[in-house]
Amino acid sequence: MESVEDNACLELQDEELDDKKETLQSQRSERRRKIVREKLDEWCATKGYRDTSLNMITLSRSLNISRYELSRYLSSCLNTTFRPWLAEVRFEAAKKMMLDNPDFGNDIISAECGFSSRTHLYRMFKEKEGCSPTAWREKNC
């Protein structure tokens, strides 16, 4: 028959095991987040955002991660969802391209950054900067 001391000892061991499991899961999750972040950084560096037909499924496949994992990363780490995140990536790429290539027109910028049209680029600038791409360029280039 087990004594009260034996039961207390077993409960303590169970708690320690639970703590170790939790720590391991946390470390594993952190490693996965780092991997997803690195894959997204590389994808951005190779200008994967230029594909106008891109969606979460095609992106997750190209990164070799599940759609669920990508969605969870965007939500928990970046506080956003796929479409707003992609729009922001494209918008930042457009601003950089305008600064680096002041002679490029808005048609070229929108096509090179994955916007479906020049109108979409214009709407993004109006929404985020309060001015047209041309006015933003005049202020910043």
Rounded to a whole number of angstroms, the distance between the first and last alpha carbons of the chain is 82
- Predicted TM-score (pTM) of this structure: 0.81
H helices of 46-81, where? 56-63, 67-78
**Assigned CATH topology for domain 85-140:** Arc Repressor Mutant, subunit A (1.10.10)
Q: How far is CA 18 from CA 5, 13, 39, 44, in A?
A: 20, 9, 31, 39
The pLDDT profile of the chain, 141 residues, written as one tens digit per residue, is 556 565 655 565 556 555 555 665 667 788 999 999 999 999 999 999 999 999 999 999 999 999 999 999 999 999 999 999 999 999 999 999 999 999 999 999 999 999 999 999 999 999 999 999 999 999 998
Enumerate the CATH 1.10.10.60 domain ranges in the chain, comma separated.
85-140
